[in-house]
Every structure is written in C-alpha cells, then in structure tokens.
Structure 1
Amino acid sequence: MKLNRWKYILLLTLAITGIGCREDLKDPDKEVKYTGPVMENKDVFTLYSDSAKLMIRMKAPVQQEFENGDGVFPKGFYVEFMQTPGKVTSTMRANFGRQDKGKEIYFAQGDVKVHNILKNEILETEELYWDRRRGTIYTDKFVKITTPTRVITGHGLRSDQSFENYTIQKITGMFDLEE
C-alpha cells in the first residue's frame, strides 16, 4: 500500500510540475514585430563620386537605417552638388529626409531649399524628390523661385539636380524685382 501511495504522490507531483511549466506557443504571425531603425548614425558625412571624382557631399545630424536598407534623416540633411570636383555649384537642404535605398530616391520635406550658386537662383518648396541615379529633382507641390531679377511661383517642377535647367509645370505668378 505504501508503494502505491508513493506512486500516486510522484504522479501527482509530475502532473502539477508539468502543467505549471508549460508555455503556450505563440503564433509568430500574430506577434508584434519591431519596425523601427536597426541603426542610428550621428553627424553623417557621405561622399558620392563618379569615376573617382567627388561629385556630391551630403551631411546630416542624424541618419537612421532600417532593415530593408532605407534611411531616414529625422533632423534633415544638406547636400552640395559639384559639376567639377571640389567646386560646389548648387546646394539642397531640408528639415526632414527619407531615402529609398533600392531606387536611390531621396524625399526632402519641410522648408526645402535648392540654391544654384552660379546663377544665384533659389528654389523653395515643402516637398521635393531627388533621384540620385538620374540626377534630377522634382515636385508636384507649390514652388517659389527667386532669381536676381524676379520671383516666379507655380505648382510642380522638374529640374536637373544642379537646378540649372528647370521647368515649372503650372506658373501661377511672376513678379519682377526692382532695385
């Protein structure tokens, strides 16, 4: 009788222990997945060259990189374009940026300014796309271009990245500046 009693106690202990230690398996498709940045860099300084010639300098206070390679510039970025190495011909700045790594397209947002230093012309808009592969910038948003002699406003713009040759899609105003 004592032996049966010990078997009963042992079985009861194993059953309680087994039930207490059991973990419910979770469905991985229902788990909350982390979608934030996997890396964050501060004081980023990136150089782009063509045939070993420096053509673009890019600076950003913060760059966040995601698992798919895309990047975000939550505190904005500043870019210098050069047609000949070492000679800055135009600049671009924005308060926020996003990079599609696969397509090499950058999205600039918030007080976006492109300055053609050679022609002394400034483009201002709230959103702008920069296609680094094609060397173009474009937007469908409101734009304001200030030249030495006039201010032009409109909606939509297509240009080379140096902001040398551009087309405004829909001009809404042209104002001559008098000195």
Structure 2
Amino acid sequence: MVGFSCQEELKDPDKEIKYNGPIIENKDVFTLFSDSAKLMIRMKAPVQQEFEGGDGVFPKGFDVEFFQREGAVTSTMSANYGKQDKGRELYFAQGNVVVRNLQKGEMLETEELTWDRRRRKIFTDKFVKITTPNRVVTGQGLRSDQNFENYTIQKITGVFDLEE
C-alpha cells in the first residue's frame, strides 16, 4: 500500500517578508484645516501616500498657505518632498524649502524644515537664508511661528545689506 499526502509547509509569519509600502496613494490632494469654522491652512500636493500607521509621504512635494482669521493668506511654504507624522502632527519638509511672509515681504530658504502643526511652529538646525526687502541674513538653525512673522536664527553667519 502506497500513500501520498499533499501537505503545504507551514511558514513562520515572523520570517515572512512584510510589505512596508503605502496602502493608499492620493493624487492632486487638497486639504483644508480650520479652527472655529475659519479656514487657517490650505495644503496642496500632487501625490500623497499613506502608510499603515497613518503617516504620509509627499514624494512630489507640497504647498501650504497660512491664513489670518479674516481669510487673507499671510504666508506660504513649499518643498520638493515631505513626510507627515500624523500622531504628532509634524511635517518634515525637504529639498528647496521656501517659506514666505507675504505681509513683510520676507523669504526663508533652507534644505530641511519641520512644521509642528499642533504648536504652530517651524524650525530647523540646517543652514538658512532669509531675504528681507533690504537685507540678506544667513545662519545655522531657525525657530519661528508657522506664519514666519517672529523668528530667531540660532547662529548668524552673515548679514548683507541690499542696495537700492
């Protein structure tokens, strides 16, 4: 008597290769954040990828507009790439990061910046360049409110007056 049995080999789930990629990919993302029914932030991105824990990636960058309570745009932020830590409401911007204060006519340029949406702050420890209507200031590290109205450069490395 000959017997055959087909038995599938059981595999250890801890040794299996797990998928770590995005579970959702959204195109032409348009997100609005409000406070007491007033528009405070408008965020646009060509692509947003969401991962299992809720965190996100903006592989083609993002653009953000910050509003006053009256509805006027006060400042903007853009970057070539971004990551979102949803639980802590942190956004990490990388690559050609530009923040503009439209009311003061000032612009911040850096390669990396963190935006803490919960605390309404932006900060970096990287090289920064701030251009005002009459001066360029360079330095290492910056702390600011998200509207780029009140900021501190950690270590100033250069101040250049612009001639008119």
Taking structure 1 as the reference length, the TM-score comes to 0.91
- How far residue 139 of structure 1 moved from its aligned partner, in angstroms, is 0.1
Q: Tell me the residue number matched to 1:177.
A: 162
Indicate the RMSD between aligned Cα atoms, in angstroms: 0.6
Distance, in Å, in 2 between the alignment partners of 1:53 and 1:154 is 35
Matching of residue 98 in structure 1 with residue 98 in structure 2:
no
Distance, in Å, in 1 between the alignment partners of 2:70 and 2:77 is 17
Gaps of 5+ in 1: 1-7
1:10-52 deviation digits (Å, cap 9, x = unpaired): xx1xx22x0xx11110000000000000000000000000001
State the secondary structure of the residue aligned to 1:125.
strand
The structure that has the greater radius of gyration is 1
Distance, in Å, in 2 between the alignment partners of 1:36 and 1:104 is 21
For the Cα contact (< 8 Å) 1:48–1:55, is it kept in 2?
yes
State the secondary structure of the residue aligned to 1:115.
strand
1:30-69 pair list within 5 angstroms? 30-69=15-54
Q: Tell me the residue number matched to 2:112.
A: 127
For the Cα contact (< 8 Å) 1:142–1:154, is it kept in 2?
yes
- How far residue 86 of structure 1 moved from its aligned partner, in angstroms, is 2.3
For the Cα contact (< 8 Å) 1:73–1:97, is it kept in 2?
yes
Q: Which letter does structure 2 place at the counterpart of 1:138?
A: F
Name the structure where helix makes up a greater proportion of residues.
Answer: 1
Matching of residue 72 in structure 1 with residue 57 in structure 2:
yes
1:42-86 deviation digits (Å, cap 9, x = unpaired): 000000000010000000000000000000000000000012242
Distance, in Å, in 2 between the alignment partners of 1:177 and 1:43 is 39
Q: How many residues align?
A: 164
State the secondary structure of the residue aligned to 1:29.
helix
Q: Tell me the residue number matched to 2:143.
A: 158
Query: Which aligned segments of 4 or more residues in structure 1 are displaced greater than 6 angstroms?
Result: none
For the Cα contact (< 8 Å) 1:55–1:85, is it kept in 2?
no
Q: Tell me the residue number matched to 1:87.
A: 72
Gaps of 5+ in 2: none
For the Cα contact (< 8 Å) 1:93–1:114, is it kept in 2?
yes
